């Protein structure tokens, strides 16, 4: 079994790019389609803690019931926000990747390169054509 796990949404371009970058490093990750198989409370809380992010930063707004649930309101506690994510897994921002080097919300998709144990094996471009890795397996700097 792989030592890399991705909490994946195949309908999300960023998530597909991250999965492809993991595979481009020669690894076949455990793929958890979290909308079909949502994490339980303990797992979600462990992931959030491992990412060292505020719970609010893990909430996805676009294409979710975020606005209808009024989740921008500061009245919600972290535990309540986790409750909402458990009730509506689409609220969990993605993709979340777990490797031996760390756990990260990989937005933008290049963020996964910082936690992959193995280097990129080949050139890689995102679905939109943006180059991420060159032919030598090196990260392409945009700056």
User: What's the half-sphere exposure (Cβ side, CA atoms, 13 Å) at 33?
Assistant: 7
* Cross-strand partners of 103: 98
Q: Name 20's Cβ contacts closer than 8 Å, sequence gap at least 6.
A: 124
Concerning whether 106 is annotated as a catalytic residue, the answer is no
* Cβ burial, residue 75 (10 Å; 0-12/13-18/19+): exposed
> Of 4, 6, 12, 55, which one is the catalytic site residue?
12
Give CA 30 to chain center in angstroms: 13
Kindly list the catalytic residues: 12
């Amino acid at each position: 079994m792989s030592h890399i796990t991705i909490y994946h949404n195949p309908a999300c371009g960023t998530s597909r790019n991250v999965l492809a970058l993991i595979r481009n490093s020669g690894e076949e990750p455990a793929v958890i389609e979290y909308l079909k198989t949502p994490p339980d409370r303990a797992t979600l809380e462990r992931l959030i803690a491992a990412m060292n992010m505020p719970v609010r930063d893990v909430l996805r707004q676009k294409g979710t019931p975020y606005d209808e649930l009024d989740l921008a309101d500061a009245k919600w506690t972290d535990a309540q926000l986790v409750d909402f994510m458990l009730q509506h897994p689409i609220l969990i921002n993605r993709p979340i990747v777990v490797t031996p080097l760390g756990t990260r919300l990989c937005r933008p998709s290049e963020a996964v390169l910082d936690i992959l144990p193995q280097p990129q094996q080949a050139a890689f471009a995102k679905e939109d054509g943006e180059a991420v890795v060159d032919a030598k397996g090196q990260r392409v700097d945009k700056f």
